[in-house]
Chain A
Amino acid sequence: MIHINSISKSYGDVKALDAINIEVSDGEIFGLIGPDGAGKTTLIRILTTLLLPDSGVAKVMNLDVVKEFRHLRKVFGYMPGKFSLYEDLTVEENLQLFASIFGTTIEENYYLIEDIYKQIEPFKKRRAGKLSGGMKQKLALSCAMIHRPEVIFLDEPTTGVDPVSRKEFWQMLKKLKSHGITIFVSTPYMDEASLCDRIALIQNGNIMSINTPENILKNYEGNLYAIATNNKRDLVKDLRKYAHAKSVFLFGSHVHYSEQSGIMDKQGLISYLSRTGHEEIEISKIDPVIEDCFLALMGNKKEIADA
């Protein structure tokens, strides 16, 4: 459905994308996961024909994003990161406008957006500018889907959205997938990775890893431990000073910790922490989550750069 072959883009001296390669199959939910400035928006703008790459080739539905942009624009769906509907048109008018631009009617593809649109239909006479954040998001998704695209691009649809609304949004995406639509979505939230079929972890214009979430977790090297003590504020500092520490990261209620040698001397660590004044020491071996993998991959990159 999407072929990205060695796409690069620079802004002045800044390399926003550095020879990116991605293949997305029909009907997949593909997640582009990384922080602000990683290159996510640049890549989506190239794929949606809004920005020209410096080099490389990209095709969406077998149409070249540069040479066949006119044709391509008619067939994909796009929900930009910034709310881009007409704020002084009503909910209904926005949807009608998008339907007529794409030569269709609301009725024709209503089945596709019904679940989403039903939730904002009570407010269909309200101007879009007067909607809450969650409702704007639902309207934007409805407008992006009204011409029944085979593929939809979503640029950080859940950024700044609270955790509960984020979950609801992902349920809507699952529904679209069940209609056979390919979904290309970017997000800075690592915990959304597990909701995708495959993901690319992207940082500074480079893809650090591309795989199913399960395989990315499997590829994590070494053993990982979760540590908690009665003194949360000093725990990170003290662990970092410990001679055997390899990685030390705050992780919610615990600190995620790994040692240079794969196997840990648990007693040694417990007595070190006791000596530095920690009590109620808990240490348990854990499975990594995607954010652990991202942190480890970022660390590798840094080491290579420093070497």
Chain B
Amino acid sequence: MLSENSIEVRNLTKKFGSFTAVDNISFSITRGEIFGFLGANGAGKSTAMKMLCGLLYPTSGHANVAGFDVVRETEKVKRKIGYMSQRFSLYQDLTARENIRFYAGIYGMSDNDIKTNTKQLLEKLKLSRFADVQIKSFPLGWKQKLAFSVAVFHRPEIVFLDEPTGGVDPVTRREFWEMIYATADRGTTIFVTTHYMDESEYCDRISIMVDGKIEALGSPKALKRDFQVASMDEVFVKLARPTTAKSE
């Protein structure tokens, strides 16, 4: 059942009325790859991501995630993935331990696994002392690291991260990426969106969406070479606003 590719997308399209939010996109992501999914606000990133997570049906095209078809085998897809976003992540009025327990239960982990792995996780995050405190009092950085750990707790094949580091302090932001690296090294595929252009450099490959289409796809090095610029920031500007870039 395990193929080389964690995600295969072919001609995926989503229309809302006459508006085409995602316009015939195709790409594939290999197992254990860190894939950055970039684009300006409104480019269609969230819509595409929702389709890959089985939360929204495509108008046409195909997507295969962790070996399952997102339309015909939606529930199987959901069991194979983890998801974390900046806005919706954990329950603020549950404790750290309760949040772990809750999500692990949803993903069908056994009580025994939950118990042993929870202890390990809390130690690794240096949260053992605060395990039974409601997380609403935690600093944002702690919450985001816990949310990520919860999203990969059931060892999903793929984890979707939607702007996981927005607003997080510079030190924690980097610690977060080291956690991502460690998770990818274990074989989990990482699908991540970010507005920090320096973070796009931490990805193995990235795609840039403009008006529903994928306009560039490749390693950061290759993209900088192709666009003949020194930074990903410039690649982004050239693609997202070709007119602005010219007039500047």
Contact = CB atoms under 8 A, between A and B. Distances in A.
A165 B202 contact: no
B186 to A, nearest CB: 12
B41 A36 contact: no
A35 B232 contact: no
Contact of A159 (B167, B198, B201): B167
A133 B140 contact: no
B167 A36 contact: yes
Interface stretch (A58-66, A140-148, A244-252): A244-252
Contacts of A162: 39-41, 195, 236, 240
Interface in A148-177: 159-165, 167-168
B16 to A, nearest CB: 14
Q: How large is the interface on A (under 10, 10 to 19, 20 to 34, 35 or more residues)?
A: 35 or more
A164 B241 CA distance: 7
Contact of A250 (B39, B137, B169, B174): B174
Contacts of B169: 34-38, 203, 298
A132 B40 CA distance: 12
Given A165-B40, A232-B202, A291 B170 contact: yes
A181 to B, nearest CB: 24
Contacts of A295: 170-171
A295 B198 CA distance: 15
A298 B181 contact: no
B185 interface: yes
A253 B185 contact: no
A291 B40 CA distance: 23
Q: How large is the interface on B (under 10, 10 to 19, 20 to 34, 35 or more residues)?
A: 35 or more
Given A163-B236, A252-B198, A133 B178 contact: no
Interface in B152-180: 163, 166-172, 174, 177-178
A252 B232 contact: yes
Contacts of B231: 252
B178 A132 contact: no
A298 to B, nearest CB: 6
B17 interface: no
A164 B166 contact: no
Contact of A160 (B166, B185, B240): B166
B168 A163 contact: no
Interface-central residue, B140, B169, B177, B181, by most chain A CB under 10 Å = B169
B195 A160 contact: yes
Interface in A10-52: 14, 34-38
A37 B140 contact: yes
A289 B206 CA distance: 25
B220 interface: yes
A58 B221 CA distance: 49
A134 B41 contact: yes
B244 interface: yes
Given A291-B170, A298-B171, A253 B40 contact: no
A168 B244 contact: yes
Given A37-B139, A252-B198, A163 B170 contact: no
B73 interface: no
Contacts of A190: 170
Interface string B11-45: 00000000000000000000000000001111000
Interface of A: 14, 34-38, 132-134, 159-165, 167-168, 188, 190, 203, 232-233, 236-237, 249-253, 291, 294-295, 298-299
